[in-house]
Structure 1
Amino acid sequence: MNFMARKDKDNHEKKNKKGKKHMKKKAMIHAIISAFQASPKEPVNYKQISKIIGVESQQEKLWVCDILNTLAEDDFLIEVDRGRYRLNELETIAVGTFERRSNGKNSFLPEDGGTPIFVAERNSGHAMDGDKVKVQLLARRKGCPSEAEVVEILEHQQGTFVGTLQVTKGFAFLVTENKKLANDIFIPKDKLKGGKNGQKAIVRIMEWPENAKNPLGEVLDILGEAGQNNTEMHAILAEFGLPYQYPESVEKAAEKITDTITQEEINAREDFRNITTFTIDPKDAKDFDDALSIRRLPNGNWETGVHIADVTHYVKPGSTIDKEAESRATSVYLVDRTIPMLPERLCNQICSLRPDEEKCCFSAIFEMDEEANVKNSRIVRTVIKSDRRFTYEEAQNIIETGEGDYKEEILAMNALAKKLRERRFKNGAINFDRYEVKFEIDEKGKPISVYFKESKDANKLVEEFMLLANRTVAEFVGKAPKGKTKKTFVYRIHDLPDPEKMENFASFIRRFGYKLKTEGSKSDVSKGINKLLDQVQGKREENLIETVAIRAMAKAVYSTVNVGHYGLAFEYYTHFTSPIRRYPDMMVHRLLERYLSGGRSVTQKKYEEICKHCSAMEQTAANAERASIKYKQVEFMSDKLGMIFDGVISGVTEWGLYVEINENKCEGLVPIRDLDGDYYEFDDKNYCLTGRRTKKQYRLGDPLTIKVVQANLERKQLDFTIAE
């Protein structure tokens, strides 16, 4: 709209009637800025701008003059000639990614890095989350954050949304709780795909017309009735862009794979079929991708074997199954189900190291003395036959009582594992030993109780031998002989903690009376963290301090560039031991096979791209898993409204306090608006809310008694209030 059109409109709407109140200065500044942004090219004087914003009194016009001068001093406006101003448009155009948020706090992420820039909804051009966009950087006022306006959408992210259908006679809407979209999606009747009122659906946005309040969408799939367990679990997967069905073509390809191992194949492998071998897994596991073997050698040392399912013997690069596995990158573990990376025929049958069945493996074999020093090791393809499938509970019982099947072998491996573990911590590995919250669910998927899964000696036994195998494989490729170039490989890396985060962490724990050294060598810092974790064990603040310590750490990722694994204190580390559920392990198996047979190095760029994809998918899968836990927590608490529980403040944000209930670890929000008697300000460095008047503080880790007031399954949120 040009200035003259605006003038007519405003004159019509904003005639200054007798007794009209003066416009407040803050509102006037906002109105002037909006007017210039609406018509950035046209220069105007103070009289014209006064008319546009509906100002008529002499006093207000003098304010307009002052504001125009100030905005010109701030470089927001340019004085093109005496008394006439226009917007100081920066000619800067940038390209990057648009991030949409339902609260209107959209942002633009420049593709060459740098700080995110705020994009007001009126300047978003209806760009969707993840779209590649071109923006114009707007003139910046002193003391105000930078802003940008979307001028072109270069590439649409294929955006799908999950929600509940509201179907009326002539049309429908998808109502979504998605944090990236504030508006419901309008669905024409012919795009409903048979969807009915109250059903959950996946909808794709087709377009968002310029003057429309709502985007237009079409239903891609109907998930089922809202509230049903299957529907809700599929909705969580779809929400994170994860598959909830297996393509028929991939299942058919898996059915054609033979499970027969030929004699020729057995002859090409080391034969471990007559050596004591067993698996130790959770009681509900079906995909056994690792087995352990042990025997005493004539020289008195132990030969231990870590045998890993030889998935890549069956799944060839570029095949239908391989492409699907690469796309998924990982199996996803929701509360009540596993969404496998590989078809069931492979992961639960052919490749699974089931007892009394001959299986192809890729193995790391170690000769160890009584002190668990590795004297020799080799990485070979093998054929095995597991003698026994142990659950963790069964193996733990043997460790504790000294009685049971293969007790000598289990006890010997446990003794070696304890020495490996002790040495690892001595070298600076960090001992995060946290419990997992698990649900016991009925046949309909409803949670009936909560229990905590702790890591005991049987879990640690398996963990230590897997770590040993992963480290050995990484060293085999990564430690290039003198004068030889290192070959491209897939590493699991964990960078050093961010110094600023560590400093904040050290200052946070001082309030609990603990000290932490944040400078010195890598092992000095990690040993300090371990000492702290020992000190807090069994204390009220144990879980809190562990949580904040983890937040200060970098995230472990996959990369072809090795920087070592800080948390484990290993210079070389990879993922070799779970190819049934992780694609990087399949990549490692293929690279090992290539390099063991003298093959040349692969192209780094291609493998680095796959590493980035696998890291991203791992994070997405973890988010989906957390969402499923959150859903089950809300479902579990939905019949406990009005009940009072003791808890601890587990999170502090600008919108309220998160409180974790002690007895079941379910977490809910006490909104900041419900903190009575004061205005509370958020202190992000000290993890607390402080009352402006009373100075009362709510701090991370403080005990708090709460009452359950709402359980919103759609938002996966529990709302609490502080109990009187």
Structure 2
Amino acid sequence: MRKQKKDRNKPKAKDKKSREAPGGKTYTGIVDIARSGMGFVVVDGLEKDIRVHPGRLRSALDGDEVRVKIQGGGKSSGRMEGEITEVLRRSKTDFTGKLELSKEFAFLLPDKEGIPDIYLPLDSLNGARHGDQIVVHITHWGGQGRRPSGTVTAVLDKTNLNDTAMKGILVENGFPLSFPTEVMKEVLALPETVSKAETARRKDFREVFTVTIDPVDAKDFDDAISIRSLRRGVYEIGIHIADVSHYVLPGTALDEEAYKRATSVYLADRVLPMLPEKISNELCSLRPHEDKLAFSAVFEIGAKAAVRNCWIGRTVIHSNHRFTYEEVQDIVETGKGLHSKELLLLNDISQQLRSRRFEQGAINFSSQEVRFQLDEDAVPVGVVIKENKEAHQLIEELMLLANKTVAEYAAKIRVQGQEIPFPYRVHDVPDEEKLKLFTAFAAKFGYKFDVSSPQSIARSFNEMLEKVRGRAEQHVLEQLGIRTMSKAVYTTENIGHYGLGFGNYCHFTSPIRRYPDVLVHRIIAAHLEKQELADRQLEKKCRHCSERERKAMDAERAANKYKQVEYMQQFIGEEFDGVISGVAHFGFWVETVDSKCEGMVGIADLQELDDFVYSDTEYALIGSRTHKRFRMGDTVRIQVAAASLEKRQLDYVLAGGTEPAANKKEIRNASTDKEKKGRKGKRRKAS
């Protein structure tokens, strides 16, 4: 039974008095700085944020966690006003920009608005020259009228626009490009081999058949699967996860840096790891033919994939073979290949687990992963659409089983009669207002929703997704359905995972690339070893990890958008079929059918057709005179009008639109000339 949904945005009763607090009361929150320079501190439990005038921000920057003191009577225009007294946590410590250098001084002129110039001592330039694009790490934050100061950590290559752009995106989202010296010293001191003493403390799975299955270009293998027959029709399946918590210990510089990053970031042409490569790609990576330390969930599974028992604990394993998804998919489709008997058995069990999961309330949203094919200079030359095939589902279902089981195990632990704090991965029920709009829109296509309970909503979604498959409205209803859903987050408040249909869920299976998984490992290990691990800061850590996850997603989207612009700038003036992927009062977005590259058709380019008004119930722009609709999901023919790498923006116009496309091409193409000149290599046409 799903737990009652709680409204986290609703002020708690005890906060009513604090909203009317006299001057002097102090709050903790996250500061949001507007373009005007005005700050607004967002505090959990307060209906309205706290206004902070620029002169009272001290050295706080956008996204920082701060302590703010209410000033005067406490309110102005219905909103409290305050002064920041302390910055508790910096959201960013590295910034990009241009070096301004003279004989006496040097400054970083930041790329992003709202960041003050950063003073650079002349002995901290690390070879940077006047006009260079650089990365600066803040060493002192200034305050009391003084500017922040820092040191140059990287000089970006002006001739390599892609590398400069990707590094800029990472820094912009608060991810440092390199690891501090003290972190690397700790990593170098870690043991290269597994000791006999450590092996003796663990359950030994080295003689059990074990494999890894990962993407062809993967280097960090953080999960492995073992299987052996126990008796007729009953199998032992082990899900073995790299034991990162054995190497990354609390209180170390390595742990502090891992927590700060909280996640690896995957861009189109690179990975920025959460942990140094010696750990992620060597010590912890479950490479074949090597003894490796793992944290495992080992299941006894019988007929119809019924889970009978589970053992959780630390192990030592030895992978027999490293498979790629493509190799396993070939075995699934042909029934032949290396270790085919074991892999086909694992696939059969996974498919049964998958079917049962959807029967029990999980929502079956399908998704396509679009990736660019890059040449040796990281220039996009083609598009690949990855399908979610049975080889991927094999790993996905077993990882879900492990995550769910570990969370269920943690939920039953009691210390002095109390539940232990634990970093659950939760997913709330859909927002009522969004759901109301969506169900009304779906009804226009003949799809009815039962909204009487969360379970009936999930069933209705699955019925719609099954019926819509292959129909013209499939894309729009799938995309809008996903947007109706809440965002999954980390928290100690366990409300279950609605999308997966699980009452208990956590992240246990990817500690190389996610910090919450490391926290889960530590808590489970402490309990198994009868140690106390009461982390009073766990909810704060959960919020931090959720925020870092969002920033990583922002970085990934920005990098993908850059690649879209880079790819489409060779097609200025050419026409493509597209699907309207979003609508706003100022225009609509179109995603090209073949390359999945999204651009904007501005409302100004539609004025000669009609005066268009946005309808949020129709997800459409509607003509006042002609009643012509541009609705999300409609197919249109567009022409590429402009492509700005600097803005990461594509402009489209309707093909054969209101003014000659050639004229628009001449006007807008001028903005891309500079960007094209510095590029390496010849631009290639899509095959």
Q: Shorter-chain TM-score category?
A: 0.7 to 0.9
Q: Which residue of 2 aligns with 1:657?
A: 588
Asked if structure 1 preserves the Cα contact closer than 8 Å seen for 2:109 and 2:118, the reply is no
Q: Which residue of 2 aligns with 1:398?
A: 331
> Residues 202 and 661 of structure 1: is their aligned pair in 2 closer, same or farther, counting only changes over 3 Å?
farther
Alpha-carbon separation, structure 1, partners of 2:414 and 2:30: 43
Q: Superposed, which structure 2 residues align to 1:318-717 within 5 Å?
A: 318-480=251-413, 484-520=417-453, 522-600=454-532, 602-603=533-534, 605-677=536-608, 678-717=610-649
**Which stretch has the larger CA shift, 582-591 or 99-108?**
99-108
Shift in Å, 1:604: 5.2
> Residues 108 and 383 of structure 1: is their aligned pair in 2 closer, same or farther, counting only changes over 3 Å?
closer
Paired residues in the alignment total 622
Q: Which residue of 2 aligns with 1:62?
A: none
Structure 2 unpaired stretches of 5+: 1-20, 657-687
Q: Secondary structure at the match of 1:308?
A: strand
Alpha-carbon separation, structure 1, partners of 2:542 and 2:486: 17
Q: Which amino acid aligns with 1:458?
A: A
> Residues 461 and 657 of structure 1: is their aligned pair in 2 closer, same or farther, counting only changes over 3 Å?
same
Alpha-carbon separation, structure 1, partners of 2:94 and 2:35: 13
Shift in Å, 1:654: 3.0
TM-score, normalised via structure 2 length: 0.82
Asked if structure 1 preserves the Cα contact closer than 8 Å seen for 2:101 and 2:129, the reply is no
Shift in Å, 1:111: 5.9
Q: Secondary structure at the match of 1:708?
A: strand
Q: Secondary structure at the match of 2:156?
A: strand
Shift in Å, 1:351: 1.0
Q: Which residue of 2 aligns with 1:32?
A: none
Q: Which residue of 2 aligns with 1:66?
A: none
Alpha-carbon separation, structure 2, partners of 1:220 and 1:713: 25
Alpha-carbon separation, structure 1, partners of 2:415 and 2:246: 32
Give the percent of matched residue pairs that are identical in Structure 1 and Structure 2. 42
Q: Which residue of 1 aligns with 2:660?
A: none
Q: Secondary structure at the match of 1:393?
A: helix
**Which stretch has the larger CA shift, 94-103 or 323-332?**
94-103
Question: Relative CO higher for 1 or 2, CA cutoff 8 Å, sep ≥ 6?
Answer: 2
Alpha-carbon separation, structure 2, partners of 1:674 and 1:542: 28
Q: Which amino acid aligns with 1:199?
A: Q
Q: Which amino acid aligns with 2:592?
A: I
Q: Which amino acid aligns with 1:408?
A: K
Q: Which amino acid aligns with 2:597?
A: C
Alpha-carbon separation, structure 2, partners of 1:104 and 1:675: 35
Q: Which residue of 2 aligns with 1:253?
A: 186
Asked if structure 1 preserves the Cα contact closer than 8 Å seen for 2:51 and 2:82, the reply is no
Asked if structure 2 preserves the Cα contact closer than 8 Å seen for 1:177 and 1:714, the reply is no
Alpha-carbon separation, structure 2, partners of 1:353 and 1:169: 52
Asked if structure 2 preserves the Cα contact closer than 8 Å seen for 1:177 and 1:715, the reply is no
Shift in Å, 1:390: 0.3
Asked if structure 2 preserves the Cα contact closer than 8 Å seen for 1:200 and 1:235, the reply is no
Deviations 1:407-460 (A, max 9, x none): 000000111111111110000001122011111112221111111111100000
Asked if structure 1 preserves the Cα contact closer than 8 Å seen for 2:97 and 2:111, the reply is no
Asked if structure 1 preserves the Cα contact closer than 8 Å seen for 2:56 and 2:84, the reply is no
1:290 aligns with 2:260: no
Q: Secondary structure at the match of 1:297?
A: strand
> Residues 93 and 350 of structure 1: is their aligned pair in 2 closer, same or farther, counting only changes over 3 Å?
closer
> Residues 163 and 634 of structure 1: is their aligned pair in 2 closer, same or farther, counting only changes over 3 Å?
farther
> Residues 484 and 566 of structure 1: is their aligned pair in 2 closer, same or farther, counting only changes over 3 Å?
same
Q: Superposed, which structure 2 residues align to 1:180-195 within 5 Å?
A: 181=114, 193=125, 194-195=128-129
Q: Which amino acid aligns with 2:623?
A: G
Shift in Å, 1:370: 2.6
Q: Secondary structure at the match of 2:419?
A: coil
Asked if structure 1 preserves the Cα contact closer than 8 Å seen for 2:229 and 2:236, the reply is yes
**Which stretch has the larger CA shift, 272-281 or 694-703?**
694-703
Alpha-carbon separation, structure 2, partners of 1:529 and 1:239: 37
Q: Secondary structure at the match of 1:517?
A: coil
**Which of 297, 314, 317 in structure 1 is aligned with 2:250?**
317
Q: Secondary structure at the match of 2:557?
A: helix
Alpha-carbon separation, structure 2, partners of 1:311 and 1:187: 39
TM-score, normalised via structure 1 length: 0.78
Asked if structure 2 preserves the Cα contact closer than 8 Å seen for 1:166 and 1:173, the reply is yes
Q: Which amino acid aligns with 2:566?
A: E
Shift in Å, 1:310: 1.4
Q: Secondary structure at the match of 1:325?
A: helix
Asked if structure 1 preserves the Cα contact closer than 8 Å seen for 2:135 and 2:153, the reply is yes
Alpha-carbon separation, structure 2, partners of 1:247 and 1:560: 31
Alpha-carbon separation, structure 1, partners of 2:512 and 2:230: 31
Q: Which residue of 2 aligns with 1:57?
A: none
Alpha-carbon separation, structure 2, partners of 1:316 and 1:166: 38
Q: Which residue of 2 aligns with 1:199?
A: 133
Q: Secondary structure at the match of 2:304?
A: coil
Shift in Å, 1:347: 1.0
Asked if structure 2 preserves the Cα contact closer than 8 Å seen for 1:503 and 1:518, the reply is no
Asked if structure 2 preserves the Cα contact closer than 8 Å seen for 1:493 and 1:573, the reply is yes
Structure 1 unpaired stretches of 5+: 1-89, 141-145
Alpha-carbon separation, structure 2, partners of 1:93 and 1:517: 50
Asked if structure 2 preserves the Cα contact closer than 8 Å seen for 1:302 and 1:368, the reply is yes
Shift in Å, 1:622: 1.2
Q: Which amino acid aligns with 2:447?
A: Y
**Which of 259, 268, 275 in structure 1 is aligned with 2:201?**
268
Shift in Å, 1:674: 2.2
Q: Secondary structure at the match of 1:380?
A: strand
Alpha-carbon separation, structure 2, partners of 1:651 and 1:666: 13
